[in-house]
Amino acid sequence: MKAFLTGLLLAALAVTTSQDRAEAADRPLLVFAAASLAEVMDEAGKGFVAKGGEAPQVSLAGSGTLARQIIAGAPATLFISAHPKWVDEVEKAGLTREIRPYAANRVVLVVAKDSGATPPADDGDAALSAAIDAVIGADGRLAIGDPASVPAGQYARDALTSLGIWSKIEPRTAPVENVRVALSLVARGEAPAGIVYASDAAAEPDVKVLAVLPERLHQPVRYPAALLGAADEEAAPSAVAFLDYLTGPDGADILRRHGLEPIAK
C-alpha cells in the first residue's frame, strides 16, 4: 500500500512539473529593456526570428520602472538594465536565475543639431563645467532622466557631482521618465541641452554631441542582462535562446552598429 501511494505521489509530481514546464514554455518571450536599447532590441528581435527563434515582445522604459514592475509581479522573462543597481534589486527579490554582462555605453552632453553652442575648450573639469553652464543659459533646462529611477539620470547626477556643480545645476534640470524623452526634448528644441547616452545621440539626427563625459566622473555605463524565473532551463527555452543570441556574435555586431560595445562573458 505504501509503495502504491508513493507511486501515485511521484506520478502526480511528474504531471505537475510537466504542466508547469508547458505553461512556462507557452508564456510569450517578454523582454523588459532599458529605453536606450530601442533600436538594438528591434534589430535583435528581427534577427532572432530570422534564425527560427520566437518573436520577442519588448517593453521599453526606464530601468528603475521596469525593475519595480518585475518585483511587483510582471511576467517578464528577460530584463536588461542600463545600470547594475536595478538588476541587483531584482536579484535581491529572488527573481533572477542567471545574470550576464551585456553591453557598455558612454554618457554625452548633447545640443540641437543647429545649436551654436561651443564645445569645452579642453578636456579638463573646469572647461566642461563652464560649457555645461553656458549651454543651459540663464533660463534654460538641462534635460536628464530622473536620477531616482533612470540610469542615464543617475550617471548625469554623478558626473555633475564629481564636477562640483550638481547643487548649482539641479534646480535647472528637466528630469523625465526615461532617457529617450530627454533626448527628444533637445531634438525638438524644448531644452537647450541634455545628458544622454552616446548610442541615443547616434540614433537621433536632430542632435549633436557637444562633449563626452569622462568615465572618471561617474560609474562606467554597463548593461547587465538577467534571465528571470524558475531555475530549470526548460522553463523558458525561448528566453535562454534569445539571451544566447544577444550575448553571442550576432548580438555583438548589432550593439556595435548602434553605438554600444559588447562585453565578453
pLDDT along the chain (265 residues), means of 10: 42 40 62 96 98 96 96 96 96 95 98 95 93 93 96 97 97 96 97 97 96 96 91 68 96 96 84
Contact present, 97 and 228 (Cβ < 8 Å): yes
Task: Tell me whether strands 142-145 and 221-228 are parallel, antiparallel or unpaired.
Answer: unpaired
Contact present, 154 and 147 (Cβ < 8 Å): yes
Kindly report, residue by residue over 88-111, the tens digit of the pLDDT. Answer: 999 999 999 999 999 999 999 999
Instruction: Please give the pLDDT value at position 229.
Output: 84
Instruction: Please give the pLDDT value at position 94.
Output: 95
Distance CA 123, CA 33 (A): 32
> Taking the model in full, what pTM does it have?
0.83
Helix (H, G, I), strand (E, B) or coil at 84: helix
Instruction: Please give the pLDDT value at position 237.
Output: 85
Q: What cell numbers appear for 23 in the block?
A: 505553461
Residue 33 pairs in a beta bridge with 60, 80
Helix (H, G, I), strand (E, B) or coil at 216: helix
Instruction: Please give the pLDDT value at position 257.
Output: 96
Grid look-up 553605438 returns: 259
